[in-house]
Amino acid sequence: MTTGITPLLSVKDIQVNTDYFVKTLGFKLDFVTGDGTTAILNYRGALLMLQADGGDEPPALADNLTELQVRVGNIEEIYASALSRGAIIRRYLECTTHKDGTVARHFTVSLPDGYPLTFIKDGES
């Protein structure tokens, strides 16, 4: 049995967010409740749940500290795909060198409700 954590994001509009995750970022839709208020998305085995907030304002505020990270293998391919599909790029593809000399390559997109989602490939030397 594999252990993992599945984040749950509160979103204003399930359909808008689901479409963005699937059509723009390449996630797969695994499940939607009958009433359409909850969706489970899958990105190469990593799960994410979305739940309708029902409020008038987007749940993610400017001071919201929630940031999601997805570890990936081929970051250049994923970055090119995100760009070509119209992803809202918050931080462009860049490299960060850690103290041990390994390099992390990463970029961040904004989700429709303002949450940041970072794709990261680390461990290169």
Residue extents of the structural domains in the chain: 8-124
Please identify which residue in the block is written with the tokens 């680390």.
122
Supply the CATH classification number for the domain 8-124: 3.10.180.10
Residue-wise pLDDT for 39-93, tens only, equals: 999 998 889 999 998 666 666 555 556 788 999 989 999 999 999 999 999 999 9
Distance, C-alpha 98 to centroid of its chain:
23
pTM above 0.85, yes or no: no
Residue-wise pLDDT for 79-95, tens only, equals: 999 999 999 999 999 99
Q: How far apart are CA 98 and CA 81, in angstroms?
A: 27
Phi-psi region of 62 (alpha: psi -120 to 50; beta: other; left: phi over 0): alpha
Say what percent of the chain tops pLDDT 90: 56
